[in-house]
A and B are shown apart, each in its own frame.
Chain A
Amino acid sequence: MAGEYDVIGRAKPKVDGRPKATGAAKYCGDLKFPNMLVGKILTSPYAHARILSIDTSEAEKLPGVKAVITHRDVPDLKYGISPARWDENIFCIDKVRFVGDKVAAVAAVDEETVYKALKLIRVEYEELPAVLDPLRAMDEDMPQIHEQFPRNINTEIHQHFGDVDKALAQAYHVRTDRFVGQRTYQSPIEPHSAIVVWADGKLTVYSSTQSPHYFQYYLAREFGLPMGDVRVIKPYVGGGFGGKLEPTGLEFAGAVLSRLTGRPVKMFYDRHEMFAHNRGRHRQYMEITSGVDKDGRILGVHAKFIMDGGAYTSLGVASAYYAGAMLPLTYGFENFKFDMYRVYTNLPACGAQRGHGAPQPRYALECHLDMVAKDLGIDPIELRLRNARRPNTVTPNDFKVNSCELTACLEKARELSGWEEKKGKLPPGRGIGVAVGSFVSGAGYPIYRTDLPHAAAVIRVNEDGTSATLYTGAVDIGQGSDTVLCQMAAEAMGYTYENMKIVSADTETAPHDFGAYASRQTLMSGWAVKRAGEEVKAQLLEMAGEMLGVPVDSLDCRLGVVYDRATGEGKLDFAAVARTFFVKRGPLVGKGSYTPPKLGGTFKGAAVGTSPAYSFATQVSEVEIDEETGEIKVVEVWDVHDCGTVINPALLSAQVHGALYMGMGESVWEQVVFDDKGRILNANLGEYRLPTALDMPKITSALVHSEVPEPEGPWGVKEVGEGATIPTMGCYANAIYDAMGIRLDSLPLSYEKVWRALKEKWTAQK
């Protein structure tokens, strides 16, 4: 595939590699402005409490403090990233809803003064009983967290496609299994921060954000400003993984503090405050029932889930829908029932974390299927091959799947991992397991209802054609979108990557794009960029035709050279043509935008899970268990991905490594733990254990390509950024089951759980 193209398909070095390697790259917290103040937010120490009074007078008197604000000083318009559920205030007005909820903010001349001032703000609370158990949140006798949501039900979903009851009745074998997923947190290494400048009635915000657009939109709305008066700029961002997709208190409070003081205000979270702000993965209680025929073909699935949403909605409505929506993607069953309750609790709010609601249900389904396989005496990979989705099919929940190479992924994973030689033949304590996954390449519908295109791009070739600048609202948070989009621009124009420049993720200078989430940018932003590049090329070739006196369609352009199509002879340099174009016609500019086709069904929630294209993956892992301690050593992992055409192979495999690494962390090591007052016990990187370099297995990443490239992706691209997180938890659980004959039904698959399960097994055997 790489051979066909000049720029894409190649492991070009990143556009921002050098600044990052030298320390020149400025992240939001590194930026400094003249006359800048520093600000922080005061948060609640209680999980659920009425605010009786707030006395800021002592704080205001502290030398160096320039402003102290509470709910009295800010708009009280409720906001939230999910338009269906605007349930947050900038500062709590009558009550706080979790330990870490926002109460006040201070701006002062330096950090130390801010910390001291925060301590001087006196808040009187009346503690209220708190809802800390999501399984009890809906009980009649539980406290109400939000008045408008009775029984603390934030989102309730009942979907039924086909006839599941009939399918189960007709099935050869029916089984039900229950699983529990844990709360985890994205924990990007760079903390949230924002610098806000309110000047002359206009707002400029620098923020560690995954979406300048959504930030701009919600800030404008909150302060009643036209979008054009709000500028959001993304500096370098140190990772987001879903947790930086919505404005936090930092942007809102910073705006008011800046307006009051007339100075730029830099707001930031410390690590433990990041944990409290959260917007990470929901804890899910999952019940899966399936009926299969005697060959293991799935006839119907019923998924019944409860999700712990925490105190606010965040992106949780979508998470709740995604949890069920993604399940039928990988398998061909036609009957599917999905019941979900996303409940409020007095815990930090949960949102979208890499894989967005889908990884834990995938773990549940994949473990469940392994048990079905065992019940029927069928090999787990074989069972999946029998059920794997085929290309050009439609799921029962109306997702149109074009390219799908899941079967090839399964077969290749089986081959690479040595599955047949290993399964059932490994020494005691060693096991091998498989899981599959699938994910969207961009969401079919934006987060709020709008007819705006999803992506837009402009390319301007400079006056003498020795460089071209791509203007895109797409957001590089480390995944490399700036790089791949420059590659795509160069490919589309027939230009050279090395001469590309990029202006991205600044709402004033770059055209609209929804931002980095749902793995959308390679496909969606890519379309806009491709179209913009083709428009440049078309104008360029027309000019070249004029200059040469030949028909336009006799020419083409590649790698900066205009050539004769018939003979292959180079005729003119791109730069020379571009310069002439500028002299004769003015700026050489191309523009493009992308809106997905109308996707999905018409039932409630049909939009969530729609996508122009879907990635598919299979993961196999080999684990070794220390039978005495339960310590899990992941020896090796194989990930085989169907992610369409590869723009940059190095960045692609890097994304697979990273996604797998996060899935791995969540499988074994990570969990946010609370005490009985709703306080996080491990809000730090010592006790919230991210795997270290010494904890990593050997990873083999492989790809399969479809014969026919994905028609809905530019050059046939699909996503990869989240797809490799999804199978991992199920894959590990299945490998551990293979190693020890014990089924762990809750995440994380901790050493102690393995130890305990082994003990129980041996005791039972006696």
Chain B
Amino acid sequence: MYLPDFEYYAPGTVQEAVELLAGMPGARVLAGGTDLLVKMKQGLLEPPAVVSLKRLDALKRVAEEPGGLFIGARVTLNELINSDLIRRRYPSIAGAAHQMANNQVRHTGTLGGNLANAVPSADMPPILMALGAAVRVFGPGGERSFPLEELFVGPGRTSLGAGEVITGVVVPDQKTTGSTYMKFGLRRSGALAVVGVAAAVTMDGSVVADVRIVLGAVAPVPVRARSAEETIRGREYSREAAEAAGVAAAAESRPISDIRGSAEYRRDLVRVFTRRALERAVREGHV
């Protein structure tokens, strides 16, 4: 296989990167390259230029900020898994990254890349959305920040404007007592999610004071299962309640049938994994 020709830039600042991207329609950001280069080799993308983030150390940070935890867009999946800070604050984020691809890809692929690639089965969006994360973006108009779910517009499509670059996500300080991401794939490594469910709960004794359930791989974009949340928010937790939430989540999902599974199968898997994710988040904390 081969890569088509392209111009390559490695700017030294985010500002420079933004200017390059804004000035070259069709130019693509290169972070880890594990999605971009694959698509280019398969003939799905032929960008005239590629703007590498390799010199932008600011995007490599994992750091506490006032009000939240900043995870830079260039942080690789293995860096996420090995970050003391993330493991301490939100092991569920590390857990989600750990279920992705394989070791080699995790050493190269980045958080920003997984978000920007925006495939419906992406593994990082659900847990981050469940934790209320905001995405930070820098563009010609400067920096802006918005809820992560607003990034995803359709399969492979984001709401990023011309010249905009994801610089990272911020997971806000929160009262959640537990969260987890569960992924169902067709083998134990190197498998896209057939279904992915993230749940985050705030328990008040045995009452589910607050809950977020996010479904991956069962709609064009990651989906907040709001009806499912409704069935359980403010209620006493029980396995039956979790099952009911699962049933509701299944009804909210809009899966397609493809080579990995039928829509019918996926809907049922949503039911099962919503219940399992809630069980875990309620009983085990952030895992």
Contacts and interface: CB of A to CB of B under 8 A. Distances in A.
The answer to A–B direct touch (Cβ < 8 A) is yes
Interface of A: 111-112, 115, 270, 628-629, 631, 669, 673, 681-682, 686-687, 689, 691-695, 750-752, 755-756, 759
B43 to A, nearest CB: 10
Contact of A692 (B187, B259, B269, B272): B187
Given A628-B272, A673-B259, A756-B265, A695 B188 contact: yes
A682 B268 CA distance: 24
A695 B196 CA distance: 20
Given A692-B189, A694-B188, A752 B259 contact: no
B269 A695 contact: no
A669 B191 CA distance: 11
B262 A752 contact: yes
A752 B261 contact: yes
26 contacts: A111-B2, A115-B2, A270-B1, A628-B272, A629-B184, A629-B272, A669-B186, A673-B259, A681-B259, A686-B192, A687-B259, A689-B186, A689-B187, A689-B191, A692-B188, A692-B189, A692-B190, A694-B187, A694-B188, A695-B187, A695-B189, A751-B186, A752-B261, A752-B262, A752-B265, A755-B265
A270 B260 CA distance: 23
Interface in B107-156: none
A669 B259 contact: no
Contact of B268 (A112, A631, A755): A755
B253 to A, nearest CB: 15
B192 to A, nearest CB: 8
Contacts of A750: 186
Interface string B160-191: 00000000000000000000000010111111
A396 to B, nearest CB: 41
Interface in B1-40: 1-2
A693 B268 CA distance: 28
Contacts of B186: 669, 689, 750-751
A669 B187 contact: yes
A686 B265 contact: no
A115 B265 CA distance: 40
B269 A629 contact: yes
B67 to A, nearest CB: 38
A113 to B, nearest CB: 10
A681 B102 CA distance: 22
Contact of A691 (B187, B260, B261): B187
Which 4 pairs between the two chains have the least Cβ-Cβ distance? A694-B188, A692-B189, A628-B272, A115-B2
A687 B2 CA distance: 20
Interface of B: 1-2, 102, 184, 186-192, 259-262, 265, 268-269, 272
Contacts of A691: 187
Nearest to A669: B187
A694 B189 CA distance: 7
A85 B156 CA distance: 47
Contacts of A687: 259-260
Contacts of B189: 692-695
A687 B187 CA distance: 10
B189 to A, nearest CB: 4
A691 B187 CA distance: 7
A494 B190 CA distance: 50
A368 B22 CA distance: 65
Contacts of B102: 692
Given A115-B1, A692-B190, A752-B261, 11 more contacts: A115-B2, A629-B269, A669-B186, A682-B259, A686-B190, A686-B192, A687-B259, A689-B186, A689-B191, A695-B189, A751-B186
Contacts of A115: 1-2
Contacts of A682: 259
Contacts of B1: 115, 270
Nearest to A271: B1
A750 B262 CA distance: 12
Contacts of A686: 190, 192
Contacts of B188: 692, 694-695
Contacts of A669: 186-187
Nearest to A626: B272
Contacts of A681: 259
A631 B187 CA distance: 9
A573 B1 CA distance: 56
B216 to A, nearest CB: 16
Nearest to B269: A629
Nearest to A113: B2
A152 B265 CA distance: 36
A717 to B, nearest CB: 36
A755 B261 CA distance: 11
Given A629-B269, A689-B187, A692-B188, A112 B259 contact: no
A100 B91 CA distance: 47
Contacts of A756: 265
A631 B192 CA distance: 15
Nearest to B1: A270
B93 to A, nearest CB: 21
B92 to A, nearest CB: 21
Contacts of A694: 187-189
Contacts of B272: 628-629
Contacts of B2: 111-112, 115
Contacts of B190: 686, 689, 692
Nearest to A759: B268
Contacts of A755: 265, 268
Contacts of A111: 2
Greatest chain B CB density within 10 A among A111, A270, A750, A752 is at: A752
A472 B276 CA distance: 60
Nearest to A687: B259
Contacts of B187: 669, 689, 691-692, 694-695
B38 to A, nearest CB: 9
A682 B102 CA distance: 19
Contacts of A628: 272
Contacts of B265: 752, 755-756
Contacts of B269: 629
A65 to B, nearest CB: 15
A760 to B, nearest CB: 12
B1 to A, nearest CB: 5
B267 to A, nearest CB: 11
B8 to A, nearest CB: 16
Contacts of A759: 268
Contacts of B260: 687
A686 B265 CA distance: 21
A689 B2 CA distance: 23
A18 B190 CA distance: 30
Contacts of B268: 755, 759
A755 B272 CA distance: 12
Nearest to B184: A629
Contacts of A270: 1
Greatest chain B CB density within 10 A among A111, A673, A687, A759 is at: A687
Nearest to A690: B187
A171 to B, nearest CB: 40
A286 to B, nearest CB: 24
A682 to B, nearest CB: 6
